[in-house]
Structure 1
Amino acid sequence: MTLQKETADPGQPTVPAVTTAAGIELLGVRHRYGPTLALDVDDLAVPHGSLTVIVGPSGCGKSTLLSVVAGLLSPGEGRVRIGGTDVTDTAPGGRGLAMVFQDYALYPHLSVAANIGFGMRLEARHSRGAGPGRAEIDRRVDEVSAQLGLAGLLERRPAQLSGGQRQRVALARAIVRRRPVLLLDEPLSSLDAQLRAQARTELARLHRELGATLVMVTHDQSEALSIATHLIVMRAGRVVQAAAPDEVYRRPHDEFVATFVGSPPMNVLDHDRARWGWRPADGVVLGDGDTPEVDAMVLDGTVDVVEFAGHDRLVHCRSREGRWSFTEPIASRRAVGDHVRVSIAARDLHRFDPGTGRRIGSRA
């Protein structure tokens, strides 16, 4: 495979892309832990070549779904397909994928170089000469190490690395095998905020270069929105919504998705004999004499809390309808106890069914 070069830096090697990308399908998949139904997926498709991120509250089945795809768990019911091939009964090693675990699962007695090349050496041993040779393994390890900034750390042991460095070693070990599917289970959870931000950018860049299907589990919905090309929202073992991130954000399937995806979360309350939701950024403060738009919802409230959010302020209010919030510029001098009158345009309102929580339209 010809090594590609980045336009911005001809001397920096890029990760060789996989030859094909594979989509993933789960059809009627059920998995139980004892009497508990942990996973209940009727029909889910992960687009080939996508960076798909799975989000949801703790215990909703995210990691279980990933383990079923990987073959680490066998579903009690249903079928799993990768690249159009039924792999339900195929061992993990035969599914054409690689996985990065939450704890990185590095071998403490092996060097960085040995950890990265471990899977390929194992493959070569079991394939009786059909797998990559030693020279090819060393070449691939050098390429990926250079790309991920590990070239100077190849002789170190995992205990001598920082959390961010260990995370990159785990990624390198998965990437170096050039599998069409890469599964990542909370790969950034042990990193501090600054390293997480850097790693998110790195993952998005790697996805573009690899051309593989990446499926990542995270509990951080802001992280998911920032890098995903396809977003899956789960709750209680079920897929609530699967779509492009902007579609999930702009047209949430139900009240749960609306309040779970997005930071700060969507406001939802009862007003004018209906249940309405809106994003805090869509609230507009009305001054004395200001007239709201036609069909806008207008709330009169009292400021409870003002949060400094860096680029703006998040103002929490209470009114007869309940508690809600809106954002305004950092220069605002809003104070606790102030009275505010806030307008939300009809086009920014989401209407939810009070019984089922399903989104049933807007006010516009």
Structure 2
Amino acid sequence: MGVEEEFMLVSPDGRPASVAPAVLQHAAAIEPEPSARMQDPPPGGVLEKEFKQEQIETSTHPCADLDTLAAGIREGRSRADASARHAGARVAAIATVPGVISSTVIRDRRSRLIGADFGHVAREQLTCGCHVHVEVADDDEGVVVLDHLRPWTPVLLALSSNSPFWQGSDSGYASYRSQVWNRWPTAGATPPFGDGATYRRVVADLVRSGTIVDDRMVYFDARLSPRYPTVEVRVADVCLEVEDTLLQAALVRALAQTAITEHAADGDRDALRDGRGAVRTEQLRVASWRAARSGLSGELLSPRTGLPVPAAMVVAELLAHVAPALAGFGDLERVEARLDVVLRQGTGADRQRAWYAEHDDLDAVVRRASERTLS
């Protein structure tokens, strides 16, 4: 497994800083690894550009255990912040910028083409996510994982929620990033694909439609990576705390293992059945909206019944579902402990709102988040 994290680049006063080119230039100058000069390096170790000049992306090397992954995440955050400081900025693990902002598309042909094609959607697109990669044997195994984890993606979103503010005010959502992100034509939940050939045919049809530039613009909540032999789960906000990023990684890997184990035991069984077949995409869209709206502070839709219940009960359903896989990886106690912390103390969105209540200053929220990013 591995993790990609997107971060805001912010000036010392807490405002977005359009310095990604300078940050990347500094990072490339000091990067000692040969992989940094490869055209398509494996995930890990290097900083990469994102769509806007006010953000940057890091990634980890593939890891087999959470301690190694934690070290890679912290190293990536530290390296990104060091290069940002060189450009007079810092990194902040927030999924949206709280204040009123405008942003600038990165200077490359692909990004400018996307900007021209998508107009205001592209102009307003300044959000940061967390992407978890889990290795799979082939496309068919990857689709087994994709189809199985569909009902659980809203819970992953709720656990990661870290974007309550948008353009100078409280959005009323725990994850407003997800609402902005879902403006893209390929974003969001998908129906079951069934097999790898069907998945690849769907992606090829989307590219042939001329609506998207390439297969990298397939922005499903979870997809087969266009670059690596992995399932890439993209539903989460970037997490304020490293331990919450690890929680996402542990849960995604456990969902993948559960999918593979259950498919091997009964290949014809859907991941969740309630007498009506697979959970419908319409239901997943509603469940994702609820997760984005209230995070863990309200109700979520139970993946098993489709009915609203307290968020803690849905989190408990997820934990019970993946507990055998977590135990097999040696992650169960760590995940249980972190889930307890998040349910008691709240998500990144809850912390941002608490900081704002203290200072009545959205830029101060960003400064606090920047410090917490490196803790």
TM range (shorter): under 0.3
Which one scores higher on RCO, CA 8 angstroms, separation ≥ 6?
A: 2
TM-score (norm 2): 0.26
Structure of higher CA gyration radius = 1
Structure with the bigger percentage of helix: 2
Structure with the bigger percentage of strand: 1
TM-score (norm 1): 0.27
